Structure 1
């Protein structure tokens, strides 16, 4: 919004681009008569205007006009620039060419073009090309000029607000598409299987990060689950997370499992990642059709929680291999077996849950802290258990701003419900 002077009056920064000294003086006198609080600078050509505008920073920091050089009218004192008054007949630009150059050099300022008596059509064409208004020389009084400048600035603000709103809507739509890819509907037929999941983006992320999960029941009745984490944050990592999740589901439905599945997934990662420094960690579970045995694969990922009835939660860290993308085509991942007692449950999660700070110091929650939190709520139903654990971790990290990383948690149980 326009700056305020020391008396609190709205003050507009104006750049006049006019090669005729008489017309420039007339504009200055009209502005004085308008009562408009302003900072005016005069340049004689589009080239001079472009040079002056080069120092202008973009939004949201207000743009400032540099101090005048050479001859000119009233000089600006470096305040924010809000409006450009542009003559359409200049030594180095005629007609709309000058307007296009000014719009490119000052995309966030309002532009009002000045035309001759016989050039009203040109003024209309200038508005169609991006100017906020046009004025006919010789037909302008001080009040009219002041109102035109004010309205032009307000219209420019409205245009920018509308553009920002549209950009926000597009980003929200993109976020929704990413979310649908990262947070899928499990593909499970077995009514004994109960799945609960949570996903919470990190506090500083405008988009979902690269955490992902999925659960798929293969045609042979084998139940497969995965939780993964792409390094980094932002749209590229989120898109890669979606890609890996969809590829993982396709490989499972094609009958792949175990280390061969991870090798193919790593090939997808290497082909799709934006840089060689990008990697992904994951934990994959394969649960036998009789639901008595769980095979576990870990690729650089944290261990898991085992909920044992009636009231105990243990942290399980079975052998694992490197993260995907660290040693392409040379990595190996040992597969371990885990026995889940009747009525038990398995919880796999991304490291955002255990890397939050505890208090205002540098200490992090870690695996031991997570087990302590989980054992405060060992008998709760799955939904309550997940919410209680995540909320407790969030509260512990409140002094440092909350959980900084994305958190994905998957709770799997079968048999009798809790």
Structure 2
């Protein structure tokens, strides 16, 4: 038997260090080649590190949230053959109760073979072959990444699910069986409390470590607000005709070209307005004192994911028609939500569009995605009365809430650009003219 060290790989693009955001294995686990071992993050891109060989995990060399340099030892395996480290002649046995995958490991834990563990507990009786073996308390759950992702979406802890797969792995069928068993548990009926009964108090605290993507977001937002003097501008837009046109296009083309949401129309209006105000489609290197204005519109699409806010980039949005724009937005948003967005797909934007959809509120003050100098925020559409031609009529109204870097964007230019966008949205036929 030999020892094999797995090190933090060189991810490229000048990355010198990464943050450890998840372990998929623990000491004592048997792993196979290409099995995911850990997730690390660089900027906003999460990278999964697989095992290059078969072996048994001896030591995990880092705690969740710890920053590791490229080339640092991440994990050590015991493997058949010579391995890539000098043999030390000691074979480590699996720990009887390894900590859960989310529990931080001691950063000071030395890398090397763990001492042989001797258990004094009596052997458990064998279970019937048809019953999945219960997991020992505290033992980590084994499951494929797809099963882990599904369990997270269902709000289930894998440690609570009985495993029936080989080597004690949790399968999709085990999740189905667990959910079915939960639904079958009868609910206890309770009598309504007396009118004078005091309602139950809620106690307890839950600490949430700010690590991974959440740490990156916190750092970026803090730096943006610290360095950029923001000013915001809010304008009301009548989108009654726009919504009517959108409904007509969807009724005619949805089956062949896809369904249009409001966002492609907003993107089209923005790319048509930006040539009149090039100061907004720009990036500001404040250390060098240089503003770079761009002819092409590389649109950042603010996207909420399970881990936090990400901004994938729709490149050359000016070259896309409404349907290509809709498909592009869906593609980059799904790439971010699934965790598959690359570093290149999360960098290089020149202006950002952000929307909370139906939760958009009346107005907002979005934070600029530095080093950009402008961000356009979309609020929800509401039906309100308006005076038109002396009569009160119902109209669909929406606010655009945008923020700008006042160091390089004057209020006049910001207002002119938003008014140009408003004019295009209120006369939507112009959006279809090349």
What is the TM-score when the length of structure 1 is the normalising length? 0.25
- Rg larger for: 1
Q: Which has the higher helix share?
A: 1
What is the TM-score when the length of structure 2 is the normalising length? 0.25
